[in-house]
Structure 1
Amino acid sequence: MQSGITASTELQEAFNDFTADSSFFALPITISNEALTPQQPIPFTSSDFTSSLPSLKDHLQPKTPIYLILRPSPAVNHGLIAVTYVPSVAPVRQKMLYASTRNTLTRDLGLEKFGDSVFATDDFEVLDPGHWEARTQGAGTKKEGGLSAGDDILTREERELQSVKRAEEEERHGTQGRDLMGSGGSGGRLAMKTTDDARQALSTLGQEGSFVQLGIEVSSETLELLKSEEGIQPGGFLEAVPGDRPSYSFYHYPGTEEVIFLYTCPGSSKVKERMVYASARASVLQLAKGEGVNVTKRLEQGDTGEVTEQRLMDEAGLKSAGAESANTRQGFARPKRPGKR
C-alpha cells in the first residue's frame, strides 16, 4: 500500500544538510500539501544518543503523527533511524497516510542511508532509552539470522499497515467515527462543515426519480452539494455520476420506495481524497438519515462503469421484462425423472 506522496525538493535539500552536519541529532518531517516536508533540525544536546532523546518530546504530540530521522551518534553519517510516530488516537486517515508513506520516505532519501526503521504509537516508545536498548538487542538477533536492514524496513511496513487497515475497518463500520461525528453522536450531525444546500437537497429524496449528489471540498473538509435533479431516469442518473472524482450519490428509484446510495471512488483519485471520502462515508449516511432519508440499498464501486442500469434495477427489487417473460413461460416445471443407471 503506497500513498503516492513523495519527498519535496525542500526535504531533499534539508536531508543533505542534515547528513552533512554531524551536530544534528534529528530531522522532523511532516506531510503538507501531499508532500514530505522538513521541519527545523534538532541538534545533539550531548554526545550520547539516549541523553538527546528528551529534545524530541515537544515534537511528539498526542494526536499528531510525525516522522523523525535520527542520527545514532555525532560520529556517524550512516545507519540513520527512520521513526514513524503515529499516535493511537490520531484520526484514521492520518494514520493511513503516515503509515503508507513511511516506506516512500526512506526510498526517496536513499534506503542505503538507513540502518533501522521504527514505528511508534506512544511517545515513551521514542523517548524511553529502555525501548531503544531492546530494539538494539532485537536488531542484533535479526542480523545474525541474515535479515538485511532493507528487508527489515519492508517487513515492518507490511506488519504495521495491518493495524492501520483494522482502524479503517472500524471507521467503515462506524466504531471510530468520533473525528467526523458530532460529540453527541446525533445521527444528522457532522463535525465537518456541511453546506445548507446539501442538507436541503437531501429532503427532496422523498420524490420518485429524485437524485442528489454530494462531494467533499478536501482542502476545507466541507461537505457540499454537487448536483440535484428530479424526475431522472436510471440511465441519466448513472451518466451524472462523475468518473474523475469521488462522490456520494442518492437516487430514489422510480416506481419504488427504494433509495439507493452509491459511493464511487475512481482509481485516479488523489490519495487524500480517497482517505477523506472513505472515512466520511458512514457519517454522510447518518447525515442523510437525520434529514429523513431512508437509504435501503448501498453500493460502493471504484469506477462508475461498474454499475449498470440492470444492477440498479436488481437493487430496486425489479425484474426486467425479459426475465419476467422467461419465468412466465417456464412456469413450475416438474423436475425430470433421473435416468436409469
Structure 2
Amino acid sequence: MSHQTGITANEKLLRVFGKSKEGKLRLIKISIENEELTCTGMQEVKKDWEKDYDKFIAPLIEENTPCYILYRLDEKTSLGHAWLLLSYVPETATIRQKMLYASTKATLKLEFGSSHIKEELHATTKDETTLQGYYRNKKNFAAPAPLTSREEELNEIKKTEVNTDISTDTRHQTLGGINFPLTEAASNAIKDATHGLHDYLQFKIDLQNEIIELVKAKKLALSDLQKEIPKDQARYHIFSFKHTHEGDYLESFVFIYSMPGYSCSVKERMMYSSCKQPFLKVIEDYGMEIAKRLEIDDGDELTEEFLMEELHPKKILHRPQFAKPKGPPNRGPKRLTRPQQAE
C-alpha cells in the first residue's frame, strides 16, 4: 500500500462528489490547498464527452501548477456513469508537489469512489491533457501483453473446442480454470473493500463478452446477506464477516459461490465453475485475504451459526477410547501354554 499524506477532501468537495453522481456534471477540478483537497473548478454536461473534452479541460490546465481532474464519460456501468481521473503534474513542479500529488491520489480515489473511475491518465505536459493525448495514451497501452504459458495453453484449448464432436467414446477432460478479465469497476471495488469501504461485493460473468462484472458494492449487515443471493442466477460474492472468536474481534473475508440448483443453463454452470479459481487468484493478488471459500445453492444457508462453524470448526480435544467388547459368557478359563524348552 502506498504511503498517504493524511490530506482529505473538504466539505465543499464532498458535496460536489455527491452532486456528481446525479449525472449532470461533466468535470471536477481538484487542487491541494491549505493541506486539503478542494474543488477549484466545475463544468456541467453540454455535448457528448469528446466534444466537451478539450473545450472544458484546456482552460483549467495551468502550465506549472499540478491538479487532478475528474472527467465524466458517457459510458455507464452498473454503478452509474464511468469517470476518467486525469492527474496533471508538470515536470516544472517542485519535488514536494510531485510527492504530495502522487501520495494523495489514493485518498482522492477512495473518497470519490474507486469503483466509479474507469480510466486513469497521468500527464506531465499540457499536450498530454488534450483529447489527442488521451487517445495516444490509450494506443500505447493497447498493445497486448505477452501471454504466459498457461494463457497460451488455454487459447489452444479454446481453439480445439470449436466443432468438437461429443459421443459416448469421448474422454472426459477437465480444465484448471478459465481466466476472464475483470472490468475496471470490479477491480476497483475489490481494492476498496480491502480498505473497508464495502462489506459486500457481488459479481457476475458476462457470458457473451467473457468478462467478470461488478453487480453490487455496499455496506451490508449479516442479517441482510441472505436477501442478496439470487434464486435463479449464479453469482460470486465477497462478504466481510465481522465477529468475535475466543475474545478476539475479527473481520474475515468470505468468498461465496452461489449456484441455485439446476435452474441455470449448463453453459452458465460450467463457466462459473471454471472461472472460480482464476478469479480467486486475482482477488488475492489485489491483497485481499480470503479466510473461507463456500459453495451454496440457497442463501438461507448463510446464518451466523453456519459462518462461525465454517470459519472456526469445533475441535475435539479428547476422543473416547474404544471399549474392548466383553467375551462370550461361560467360555471357561483361559488355557495356559507352557513355553517349550530347548533340548
The normalised TM-score by structure 2 is: 0.40
Which structure has more helix as a fraction of its residues? 1
Which structure has more strand as a fraction of its residues? 2
Structure number with larger C-alpha Rg: 2
